[in-house]
Amino acid sequence: MRGNDGTIDCYWWAGVTDKNEQNFGDIITPHIVRKLSGMEPINVLDRGGRYLCSGSILPDLKERDIVWGSGIVRPDDLKTVPDGVKFCAVRGPLTHGLLVEKFGQEVPKIYGTSCLLIPKLFKIPKGERKYVGLVPHAIEYKAITNTDNPFYDWYSTYGESNGYVLIDINSGFESVIKAINECTYVFSSSLHALILADALGVFNAFAYFVHPYLMSSWKFNDYFLSVSRPLDPPIDCSKEPPLDFTYSSIVFDYDKFFRSCPFNFTKTTIS
């Protein structure tokens, strides 16, 4: 909640302890909250009454938490909803349906994630879009950078010299935005890389680099439905990306989602 000492209680996943490796989908939260509240976000782990606005963190809900745009990885992850949780918006209609139908919660039909607002809240220079970005999920990134991986063989001998760039989704807020903003196309198994690419107007496709079932598609479909993207299966990039793919621009009500923000104390507007 809003504190009296210039701070604001929030929650984002804190599983990454190395400050040089912070998952983009989770570290969005303090940047967004700081911008809209004018206060310093504090990551509170042990009690409720917090703001949750990014990431698949609803399984970690506590009493009186306030949700604005978070979701879950797969429906079985959510076991219960504590008392007094307020839902201002959720990531997509699959999360909405689960909360309403299984847990009897009152949840408005307002979908989205704060990642979509990044270009509207922060000044991002127009990058020279000349690369094809390959953005594996953090789990896949470790696997494909092993020298005995087929993808590594392709990338090291062909990819980099032909305009492909391997992007580490754990490399930090500014670094990830800059890297994706310099791409013409993005292939990714990281949900927030796809969301950021959508926000920046970069063509992108859901892909996998190791195994198609490494990650559940549920959270991807939840987001895709929220922005009217087709529920396409992931593209096989385990050896090399395809030469072409289709992409549908998103349809998203920015104003509706933005107006549902519960901590816009600075009265920031978007255009």
Are residues 184 and 225 part of one domain?
A: yes
- Cα–Cα distance for residue pair 126/132, rounded to 1 Å: 16
Are residues 143 and 104 part of one domain?
A: no
State which residues form the domain around 195: 124-236
In this predicted structure, the answer to whether residue 216 has a pLDDT above a threshold of 90 is no
Looking at the 3D structure of the chain, how many domains does it have? 2
Are residues 82 and 39 part of one domain?
A: yes
Residue of higher predicted confidence among 87 and 2: 87
Paired tokens of 91: 């990531």
Residue 13: inside a domain, yes or no?
yes
pLDDT at 14: 65
- Cα–Cα distance for residue pair 217/219, rounded to 1 Å: 6
Q: Closest Cα partner for 111 from 91, 81, 140, 131?
A: 91
Are residues 114 and 140 part of one domain?
A: no
Residue 20: inside a domain, yes or no?
yes
Residue 176: inside a domain, yes or no?
yes
CB 60 within 8 A of CB 119: no
- Cα–Cα distance for residue pair 104/203, rounded to 1 Å: 38
User: Per residue in 89-123, pLDDT tens?
Assistant: 999 999 999 999 999 999 999 999 999 999 999 99
Are residues 141 and 94 part of one domain?
A: no
CB 143 within 8 A of CB 189: no
Which of the four pLDDT bands, split at 50, 70 and 90, describes residue 22?
confident
Residue of higher predicted confidence among 127 and 143: 143
Are residues 89 and 132 part of one domain?
A: no
In this predicted structure, the answer to whether residue 16 has a pLDDT above a threshold of 70 is no
For residue 270, give the 3-state DSSP assignment: coil
Residue 61: inside a domain, yes or no?
yes
Mean pLDDT of 120-145: 91
Are residues 139 and 205 part of one domain?
A: yes
In this predicted structure, the answer to whether residue 21 has a pLDDT above a threshold of 90 is no
Half-sphere exposure (CA, 13 Å, Cβ side) for 98? 22
In this predicted structure, the answer to whether residue 24 has a pLDDT above a threshold of 50 is yes
Residue 244: inside a domain, yes or no?
no
- Which contacts of 69-75 are long-range, i.e. CB under 8 A and separated by 24 or more positions? 69/112, 69/113, 69/114, 69/257, 70/113, 71/95, 71/113, 71/219, 71/222, 71/223, 72/98, 72/218, 72/219, 73/215, 73/216, 73/218, 73/219, 74/216, 74/218, 74/219, 75/102, 75/218
Residue of higher predicted confidence among 56 and 246: 56
